[in-house]
Amino acid sequence: MNTSDSSILSIDVAQIRGILVDFIRKEVNRTGFDCVVIGLSGGLDSSLACYLAVEALGSKKVLAIRMPYTTSSQESLEHAHLVIQATGVMSMTIPINGMVDAFIEKYPEMNAFRKGNIMARSRMIVLFDQSAANNALVVGTGNKTEILLGYSTLYGDAACAFNPLGDLYKTQIRQLAKAMNLPDVILLKPPSADLWVGQTDESELGFTYTEVDQLLYLLVEKHKSVKECELAGFKRDFIERVLTRIRKNRFKRVMPPIARITEGDAGLDL
């Protein structure tokens, strides 16, 4: 597989843009809320979600919140500020240092993974609190690649009221963001959750988004077998590693299972 060729993931950006803008507008109107809240990290996904929300609702109906921690890069704050300036959205900056440090100081042996989860969940506390304060819905910013691979924190960055980006692979997110004229500095920087100094998504995952998106497309959209993916040029160990991640993290993609005792379903709309 020529991983520089992402044509199989090409999208009609104008059509997708219209669908997502309409989706955001309908979700907000359907639930009777007034506006939306977005955790704006300065990364590609949250920046694109912000642009789409503004197009759907107008800048006065979008509250973007920056939530830096001690280890957050100044660059992330600056890039988020670029989006705030470009879109004209309402904004707040709420550091999470106190929330996070009050907990992790009790466990000095805590590793970076645990600390990262606490940061992600602390940020979601802030977002849902501001959701309540502003009669707003929290907009999700996770993409399909992250969702399939489980590259998110349950009840952290994965938590939201609705998600306009969840059916777009990272490669497609970049296409749409480019078409919507997001700042080049955001389009071109390495994807990172910015949970600790020097962290990047691809170094942590062990492969590039370009490569894994093409494999995921074959596995998920085309229902190709392992053998067929091998014939397409992917190494078997890479295929198995990706499949293991998808299967292992299924619990993050579904509602928690409930032991059934009665015939009534709590998830049923009446």
Question: What is the three-class DSSP state of 113?
Answer: helix
Catalytic residue among 45, 194, 211, 213: 45
Beta bridge pairs of residue 39: 65
The closest of 130, 133, 164, 136 to 35, measured between CA atoms, is: 136
Contact status, residue 237 vs residue 244, Cβ threshold 8 Å: no
Q: Using CB atoms within 10 Å of the CB of residue 44, give its burial: 0 to 12 exposed, 13 to 18 middle, 19+ buried.
A: buried
Q: Which residues contact 268 (CB under 8 A, 6 or more apart)?
A: none
Contact status, residue 100 vs residue 127, Cβ threshold 8 Å: no
Look up residue 4 and give its two tokens.
Answer: 């520089």
Contact status, residue 205 vs residue 151, Cβ threshold 8 Å: yes
Q: At which residue do the structure tokens 């299967």 appear?
A: 247
45 in active site: yes
Catalytic residue among 146, 157, 194, 213: 146
How far is Cα 64 from Cα 85, in angstroms, rounded to an integer? 11
Sheet architecture: strand order including 35-39: 90-93, 62-66, 35-39, 136-138
The closest of 41, 35, 38 to 56, measured between CA atoms, is: 35
Task: Give the residue numbers marked as catalytic.
Answer: 45, 146
